Amino acid sequence: MAQVCNVCGKGPQFGNNISHAHNVTRRRWNVNLQSVKADVNGAAKRIRVCSNCIKSGRVTKAMPRVPAAAKA
């Protein structure tokens, strides 16, 4: 599965590990993705969103569904 935020499109960044002996190997920093049930066009949908979008309020979480029997 792709490591990409469904809201902002942020993906992994790439760089180098550099040891004390200056051996260089490639590495990647993944995005902190969380699976969240959010309102998407009025419907509750499970999407993968980065923690930055959750903290900043760019994602509105879906309200929990209450069964009809519990309302009465």
Domain of 21, CATH number, reads 2.30.170
Number of domains in the chain: 1
d(CA 13, CA 50): 14
In this prediction, residue 68 carries a pLDDT of 78
What does the pLDDT look like over 13-72, one tens digit per residue? 999 999 999 999 999 999 999 999 999 998 999 999 999 999 999 999 988 878 777 766
Q: Is the pTM of this model over 0.75?
A: yes
In this prediction, residue 24 carries a pLDDT of 98
Specify if 45 maps to a domain.
Answer: yes
Residue 44 belongs to what domain range? 13-62
- Asked whether residue 1 carries a pLDDT value surpassing 80, the answer given is no
Token pair for 17? 């590990």
Q: Degrees (nearest 5) of the Cα angle 64, 70, 72?
A: 130
Nearest partner of 28 among 50, 11, 12, judged by Cα: 12
Q: Are residues 59 and 8 in contact, defined by beta-carbon separation less than 8 angstroms?
A: no
Specify if 56 maps to a domain.
Answer: yes
